[in-house]
């Protein structure tokens, strides 16, 4: 059976952009006039989102290169009540070697890892040990994840303890009630204190967009979190009935674009929940490229919050390399 490798030009055009050191988003004073001016034309956003799946079509070696890029942007995640240290160790082994060595060799690639491993606070030490010697960061979900309704001082302390345990990224959940009641000062103050509690660890603000009611609320909450110093804004916990969608994503990344235009700071984006197919990752990558540019195709500015996505991407890569689809059980995540 023929083995297909990926041409260097395909990888260069879609996957290997120069890694640049970016200044961290410092935030700014709360600007309520700017917040009040933010609107969202829902019908126009939904029309634009409906066109995205058909706007770009990448095939053959270019598709394979984009899928390899998608792997490097995954926050490989386990957030189950029955998580164990053994499961986390297996997940970290998959993070270090996300594609089977034989398949990666057929593609002419090496050294591929995922963007991060995301776990609950209790599993941070196990993940840190399992990833020792790599550059893969551990991300911890924090602040009473997923509801964010535990006592406030405990949420702040949980951030500090996760950082002390070795987490380099903290995925916090905002208080949805502040958005629903338009209490922007409270949301700003909360986000600002959480950012400070993270110290050097980067903070991803989870908006739980499926519970915010309107795209305008999503746009305004995105802006507030960036004003307060969020390094990333993230759609969902993955536990809501509605998680990452294309209309929500368009709304959030356009808020990122506006924030960069005004402040000069680049803020990252993380869609999470419901992205499980390789073809979905291609849509998100092309959307980021079209709306924000090539720089947002690097793991310091874009991540997928996912677990099963990696398995489907592996199947597509095997089909490209060998011409045959493999069984899903051959690409276990952990």
Task: For residue 272, give the DSSP letter.
Answer: B
Q: What is the DSSP string of 137-176?
A: PEEEE-SSTTTT-S-HHHHHHHHHHHHHTT-SEEEEE--H
Residues 184 and 224 sit within 8 Å (Cβ to Cβ): yes
CB atoms within 10 A of CB 46: 14
As annotated, the active-site residues are: 171, 234, 270
Residues 252 and 291 sit within 8 Å (Cβ to Cβ): no
Residues 83 and 58 sit within 8 Å (Cβ to Cβ): no
Rounded to an integer, what is the distance from CA 103 to the centroid of its chain? 25
Distance (Å, rounded) from C-alpha 236 to C-alpha 79? 13
Distance (Å, rounded) from C-alpha 126 to C-alpha 269? 27
Q: Taking the C-alpha atoms of 117, 121, 122 and 123 in order, what is their torsion angle to the nearest 10 degrees?
A: 0
Main-chain dihedrals φ then ψ at residue 67, nearest 5 degrees:
-70, -35
């Amino acid at each position: 059976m023929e083995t297909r490798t990926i041409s260097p030009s395909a990888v260069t055009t879609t996957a290997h952009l120069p890694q640049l050191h970016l200044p961290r988003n410092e935030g700014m004073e709360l600007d309520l006039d700017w917040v009040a001016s933010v609107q969202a034309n829902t019908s126009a956003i939904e029309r634009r989102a409906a066109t995205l799946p058909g706007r770009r079509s990448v095939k053959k070696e270019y598709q394979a290169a984009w899928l390899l890029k998608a792997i490097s942007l995954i926050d490989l995640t386990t957030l189950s009540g029955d998580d164990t240290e053994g499961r986390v160790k297996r997940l970290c082994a998959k993070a270090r070697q996300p594609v089977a060595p034989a398949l990666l060799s057929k593609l002419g690639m090496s050294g591929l890892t995922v963007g991060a491993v995301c776990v609950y606070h209790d599993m941070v030490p196990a993940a840190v040990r399992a990833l020792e010697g790599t550059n893969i960061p551990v991300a911890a979900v924090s602040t009473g994840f997923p509801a964010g309704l535990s006592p406030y001082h405990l949420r702040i302390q949980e951030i500090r303890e996760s950082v002390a345990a070795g987490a380099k990224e903290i995925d916090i959940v905002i208080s949805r009630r502040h958005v629903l009641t338009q209490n922007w000062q409270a949301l700003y103050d909360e986000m600002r204190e959480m950012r400070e509690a993270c110290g050097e660890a980067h903070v991803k603000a989870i908006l739980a967009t499926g519970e915010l009611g309107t795209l305008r609320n999503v746009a305004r909450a995105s802006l507030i979190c960036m004003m307060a110093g969020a390094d990333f804004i993230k759609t969902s916990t993955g536990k809501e009935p509605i998680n990452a969608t294309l209309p929500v994503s368009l709304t959030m990344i356009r808020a990122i674009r506006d924030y960069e235009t005004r402040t000069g700071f680049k803020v990252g984006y993380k869609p999470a929940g419901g992205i499980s197919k390789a073809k979905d990752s291609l849509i998100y990558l092309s959307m980021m490229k079209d709306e924000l540019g090539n720089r947002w195709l690097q793991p310091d500015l874009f991540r997928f919050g996912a677990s099963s996505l990696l398995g489907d991407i592996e199947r597509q890569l095997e089909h490209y390399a060998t011409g045959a689809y493999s069984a899903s059980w051959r690409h276990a995540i952990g």
